[in-house]
Amino acid sequence: MTMASLTLYPDEERLAGTDRLVFNLYLITGLVLFVLMMLLGLGMRWTQAQWLGVPSNWFYQLLSMHGAGMVGTSVMITTATMWFFLRKYVTLHLWAFAANYVLFMLGALCIIGAIFGGGYAALWTFLYPLPMQGMGMWSPGASALFMLGYLLIGVGSLIFYFDAAAGIIKVHGNLGRALGLQWLFGGTINQDHPKAVVASTSMVIANSLGILAGAVALVMSLAAIFFPEVKLDMVLIKALIYWFGHMYINAAIYMGVIGIYELLPRYTHRPYGLSRAFLWGWATTSTLVIIVFPHHLLMDFAVPHWMLVMGQIASWGSGFPVVVVTTWGALSNIYKADFKWSLPPMLLILSLFGWVTGGFGAFLDSTIVVNLTMHNTQWVPGHFHFYLLLGVVAMTLGFIYHVVGDRSPETVQSGLGGKVFWLYFAGALVFLFGFLDGGRLSVPRRMAERIDAWIFTDQVGAVGGTLVFLAMLYFAARLTAGLLQTRAPAGAGRAGAAHAAR
């Protein structure tokens, strides 16, 4: 990376016209949905703390909406991160990016209708045969509408990924060269080869396969809804669902991390070189993340033994290569760097902490000795909320703050914003302690009904969740206002950029 590429706001990244409109729709919609999904989560936590009286049937509807909505929103908004940077290096068609957004919104409307109109409450996993057995609480039609929503969202993602794949192949010849496989065992690495292309190529391959696996499960489940005589293999359907689900949420992290590669060097004014270790890290993770999903099946005795062994080994190795090279590279980049800590780099570094720490919790849970004890406890929502709240959400907030800084420098420089950052961080730690300590105490996950012994951890979590929600309200309002502003005058933008870089 040359010093010329360390410009805080290069001209080729600035958006105008329809490009800007669609990009703003992604980010503003994502911010609004984050707030709404957090509000649903807060309502459930307050109910578990016995401060709110949400009925059990509504609790599981909220849980279904919160799970599907938070994961879907995370992927949608980090897709915008990937698009924003990848379009500089390959040709991407706006129609594909816009089609993904439209299909996401149509899918979201189907999911909302299925849950709040049809009473669907079988959670995001739609595990067969539960969606077909609503026991009078929801109809098969509501389940079908929920699955149709998933299909629409998946089709949108595939359109975007296939367009990205075509653009990458046109420039680099094939996906292997885009990943940098030609430099794994030797040769002089081209330092101009973009990290954004490496990470994007990885997700084009891995998440496309995961979405296709989910589509197979969805189509088979829809067939079983409309033709009850069709009986499905429960183990096969569960494996396909978790292949899709695990890969999909991992894609949110791996697309979001592109922002760290692209933005952090601009704030430190220090090049972030491309290394053989970096390429090995992404090549290894691109392979292992595809086959890691059987760690969700460790307690299913009917699953073939070889799948469980594969999942266990892949779990120990899948995330570490990319996490290690990213963390080492980022920390090396900021070490002794002379720059001012503004909100974008603060949030990006926070996201590394959330990703690494939450990922370590996931590593523990995927180890079968731990899994047997902890998997059906609140340890699990503890670790995935860790890398969502302090990982993915922090990544996206850091990225959006950077984008807004070009249009509204005062938003990034706000002293109040720094205070809210610490409120968000502290609130998240308190919130996560409620879940993780609940896991230590064997408090079960996903349960609306509570007993007295669980109430303390629920109340701790509810307090932390309230602080996080308040901070997120501030972030969403400030960033939405900034995104809607026109570009700052040239002098103001340069002054803001210089202030942020010092």
pLDDT recorded at residue 488 = 53
pLDDT recorded at residue 103 = 98
How confident is the model over 194-211, as pLDDT tens digits? Answer: 999 999 999 999 999 999
d(CA 144, CA 221): 8
Please report where in the chains the tokens 């990244």 appear, as a residue: 13
Distances (CA, A) of 144 to 64, 111, 256: 14, 10, 31
Q: Are 433 and 460 in contact (CB under 8 A)?
A: yes
Domains annotated on the chain, with CATH: 3-501 (1.20.210.10)
Q: Judge whether residue 487 has pLDDT over 70.
A: no
Q: Judge whether residue 82 has pLDDT over 50.
A: yes
Q: What mean pLDDT do residues 241-251 have?
A: 92
d(CA 487, CA 257): 26
- Burial class of 346 by CB neighbour count within 10 A (0 to 12, 13 to 18, 19+): buried
d(CA 83, CA 406): 18
pLDDT recorded at residue 255 = 95
Strand partners, 444: 377
Type of residue at 443: V
DSSP-derived 3-state class of residue 136: coil
How confident is the model over 415-445, as pLDDT tens digits? Answer: 898 999 999 999 999 999 999 999 988 899 8
Distances (CA, A) of 233 to 292, 298, 474: 21, 17, 47
pLDDT recorded at residue 316 = 79
Q: Are 439 and 479 in contact (CB under 8 A)?
A: no
Strand partners, 377: 444
Q: Which of 171-180, 255-264, 329-338 has the lowest mean pLDDT?
A: 329-338
d(CA 6, CA 374): 45
pLDDT recorded at residue 375 = 82
Q: Judge whether residue 4 has pLDDT over 80.
A: no
How confident is the model over 344-358, as pLDDT tens digits? Answer: 999 999 999 999 888
Q: What mean pLDDT do residues 15-34 have?
A: 96
pLDDT recorded at residue 502 = 38
Type of residue at 135: M
In the chain, % of residues over pLDDT 70: 95
In the chain, % of residues over pLDDT 90: 66
User: Both tokens of residue 40?
Assistant: 């649903």
Q: Judge whether residue 366 has pLDDT over 90.
A: no
pLDDT recorded at residue 135 = 86
Mean pLDDT of the chain: 90
d(CA 468, CA 481): 20
pLDDT recorded at residue 3 = 47
Q: How many helices (H) and strands (E) does the chain have?
A: 19, 0
Distances (CA, A) of 256 to 31, 249, 259: 15, 11, 6
